Structure 1
Amino acid sequence: MWGGCWPAGPLRRSAFTRRLSVPISAPEALLTVRGLEAGYGKIGVLHGVDLHIAAGEVVTLLGPNGAGKTSLLRALSGLLPWSGGSARFGGLELRGVGPREAAQAGLVHVIEGHRVFTQISVTDNLLLAGYDLPRAERMARVEEALSFFPEIAAKRHEKGGALSGGQQQMLAVAQGLVRRPRLLMLDEPSAGLSPVLVDRVLNVVRELQARGTAVLLVEQLIEKALGAADRVYALAQGRIVLEAATSEADLPRRLERAYFGDDAVSPLEA
């Protein structure tokens, strides 16, 4: 059974050697990636990745475990060295740029898991996220970030470790919002959350889009991810195998073909 997530296991070679969609043009792309190659030491993980994201667009990145989704986000945010390719974020060339410079340019990466400081307060966690801003500006941004999550705003003076797992995930997202990102990259924000809290986080994604913020969402809950996004990329073994608008009527079938061939069961129907 799928359980709403991609299963582990080998993919058919024919599935990722052909692109199964016509590339979609994006006017005034905020992020443009061409031929990105990256990995860990001598182990290549990403192999010629191309993608684009427009300002204010929500894009979801799907794929099985080990496909390279997290590695792609790490490469874009400066946490993983590249071995080839190029990318531009606004007017900034990303290759060789570190996490601090990327974040200062407005590209913010909320990494998978509840990465919060457990021994300091919610407010101090958020203040640290804006460490390089003037204090008055930091406080204003903290209040702005908390406005998205009333659940943790009510606990602003409590230590991060006193929050539930779901509240810590909200705090991690709020840390990213303190930067007022132009592009927010979320790596599996639903991990470990109840369905109610998953919907709460995805509602924040929609609110951000309404304010003009672009979002790149890596998510295992396929239906929810597609429901929140304008477009989808599918990644398999470090290669983009599908690009499509989430409004396309035949998207479930195209996802089937991209990953498992023509005789597979749809992940959206299982």
Structure 2
Amino acid sequence: MHTSAPENLLQAQGLEAGYGKIRILHNVDLAVRPGEIVALLGPNGAGKSTLMRALSGLLPWTAGDVLFDGKSLRGGTPRDAAQAGLVHVIEGHHVFTQLSVQDNLSLAGYDVRKHEREERIRDALAFFPEIEEKRHERAGALSGGQQQMLVVAQGLVKRPRLLILDEPSAGLSPVLVDRVFEVAARLRDGGTSVLLVEQLVEKALALADRLYAMAHGEIVLQADTKEPDLQRRLEEAYFGQHA
């Protein structure tokens, strides 16, 4: 019997999670379709990074479910999620500074055969010529912006079907921010879905197809980014004035 692919590549249903006895996420519903960019917006402390960690298996959830390509990720590890095609690029610079750029990327693809790993590294570096020319230098010698590019490239080596980018613009110059957003757009054009957590609201809205807004651990708004009067609706959602 033929069964069609699910409409949503990623779907969170009634998700609840937190740290110890402190519950951060409250009945969160969120979906990402194949080949689209979804922005997750909200003030500091809204629960955005907690949600990303729960989606990728870094944080267990206490209620609800997360489906990826129609299959539950319950009880899985971040490695299980990555092998399924869900790759989470965590906020901040997480590179091995004493290793070369090449070796950092090789570690990201440790679980694939050498020939395929080299191909994936070439493809990832093609997005970032700034670090491609420094592939044999120590990662610690890169600028902060270049290290952020390397972090994203590590995610690309895993050939994601869905790439979660958590605050990719943090600490970057405007020029490098535009480069990272350009990469996200190119990934979408190639069929990769992107879930983007970002504080630069205007840039995120210009890039994304749809958005969710969070406040106090809840989704308070979801909308198409081309809908009218979106900025006012976002402000109302942030300040708890939504219906």
Give the TM bin, normalised by the shorter chain: over 0.9
> Displacement of 1:190 after TM fit?
0.3
Secondary structure in 1 aligned to 2:122?
helix
Q: Which amino acid aligns with 2:196?
A: L
Which residue number corresponds to residue 91 of structure 2? 112
Secondary structure in 1 aligned to 2:214?
strand
> Displacement of 1:253 after TM fit?
1.2
CA–CA distance in structure 1, aligned partners of residues 227 and 140 of structure 2: 43
Which of 13, 37, 41 is the aligned partner of 2:20? 41
Which of 66, 71, 79 is the aligned partner of 1:100? 79
Which residue number corresponds to residue 154 of structure 2? 175
Matched, 1:66 2:45: yes
Task: Report matched runs for 1:67-82 at 5 Å.
Answer: 67-82=46-61
Secondary structure in 2 aligned to 1:29?
coil
Deviations 1:53-96 (A, max 9, x none): 10001000001111110000100111001100011101431121
Which of 231, 234, 256 is the aligned partner of 2:213? 234
CA–CA distance in structure 2, aligned partners of residues 77 and 170 of structure 1: 20
How many residue pairs get matched?
Answer: 236
CA–CA distance in structure 2, aligned partners of residues 225 and 212 of structure 1: 19
Which of 87, 107, 119 is the aligned partner of 1:128? 107
Q: Which amino acid aligns with 1:256?
A: E
Q: Which amino acid aligns with 1:39?
A: G
Task: Report matched runs for 1:20-31 at 5 Å.
Answer: 28-31=7-10
Task: Report matched runs for 1:105-254 at 5 Å.
Answer: 105-254=84-233
Point out the more displaced range, 85-94 or 96-105: 85-94
More contact order relative to length (CA 8 Å, sep ≥ 6): 1
Amino-acid identity (%): 70
Structure 1's unaligned 5+ residue stretches are 1-26, 263-270
Structure 1 segments (4+ residues) deviating >2 Å: none
Secondary structure in 1 aligned to 2:9?
strand
Secondary structure in 1 aligned to 2:25?
strand
Structure 2's unaligned 5+ residue stretches are 1-5
CA contact (8 A) 2:15 2:29 kept: yes
